[in-house]
Amino acid sequence: MMRKYINKVFIYLIFFFITYVYLVNVKIVWIDLFPISISQICYLISFTCCSFMLLWSLVKTMMTDPGKVPQNWGFFLDQNEQRKRRFCLNCHLFKPERCHHCSACNRCVLNMDHHCPWINNCVGFYNRKFFMQMLFYVILDSFMGLFGLFIGLRQEYINIQNDDFQLIKTLLILIAFGVCGLAIFLITRFFKMHIDLVLENRTTIENLERKRSEEQGQNQEDKNPYDLGHYYNWVQVFGTNKYYWFLPIDNIEGRPSGDGILWPRRHRQDSEQTGDNFPSTNNNTRVQN
């Protein structure tokens, strides 16, 4: 019960800070401090669009189911696949490869990356794209906000020299400036790490398992059998239509490639796949090792 309320607090904080920075930057800085101009209108439209994309991707990340395991999956596998079955004692079902049980959500999640308390949801196969877009728009929106708030602070400095100091307004701008700067500092490195994981076709959990194995001195000949090359790794998360890579849309062309259950594997002889068609996972087919 306590965890439920804590998760709600995280969500309320996110929406509060997004709204706070937007209102301070738009109303207190650009509307109150400066006369209307073409450059002002262009900036406000761009900043508003960026803030909208941030909220859209945030809501999609929160509301999209990360991926459920089909109830009867695992009972109709061939002999080779039978040996790879893993049974979840909590959910009472067989888990596909790359599927993990989340103790916070109390369920198994397809291609689980991690549980994020800030969105009160797991990041998995079906919402990892939206999570990555959310991080991208957090950084972009923060940079744009930082620019606008810096202009406002410079104008406030000029006003102070002209004996027109307004303490409350200056404090509000400083706090918003600090929020944007902190977001850039924290999220940029985090975003880069997740970009690297997507390009390597790993999840956060798999990356931690790899590091743990290396620390224990375990020798892995095939460190990542799911690595199909940067392009195919990317479309497994973002889909094949490039127009939807920046839009949090989950129609057929905007969905990740595959089904989150069956995973193509790379050839041992080839470290990079070539061609225009994504390796098929339909009808239980795989790229053979």
163: its two tokens: 């004996």
How high is the pLDDT of residue 286? 37
Active site residue 116: yes
142-158 pLDDT, tens digit per residue, is 999 999 999 999 998 88
Residue 284 reports pLDDT greater than 50: no
How high is the pLDDT of residue 124? 95
How far apart are the C-alpha atoms of 119 and 1, rounded to whole Å?
A: 17
More confident residue, 39 or 221: 39
47-87 pLDDT, tens digit per residue, is 999 999 999 999 999 999 999 988 777 666 665 555 456 78
Name the pLDDT band for 171 (thresholds 50, 70, 90): very high
Catalytic entry in 99, 108, 116, 122: 116
How high is the pLDDT of residue 44? 96
How high is the pLDDT of residue 72? 75
Arithmetic mean of pLDDT, 183-203: 95
pTM: 0.86
Helix axes 230-238, 128-161, angle to 10 degrees: 80
Reduced to 3 states (helix: H, G, I; strand: E, B; else coil), residue 56 is helix
Write the burial class of residue 187 (CB in 10 Å: 0-12 exposed, 13-18 middle, 19+ buried): middle
How high is the pLDDT of residue 78? 60
The residue with tokens 């061609």 is: 275
H/E element holding 86? strand 86-88
Q: Read off φ and ψ for residue 86, nearest 5 degrees.
A: -125, 135
How far apart are the C-alpha atoms of 233 and 199, rounded to whole Å?
A: 6
Arithmetic mean of pLDDT, 249-273: 74
Residue 218 reports pLDDT greater than 90: no
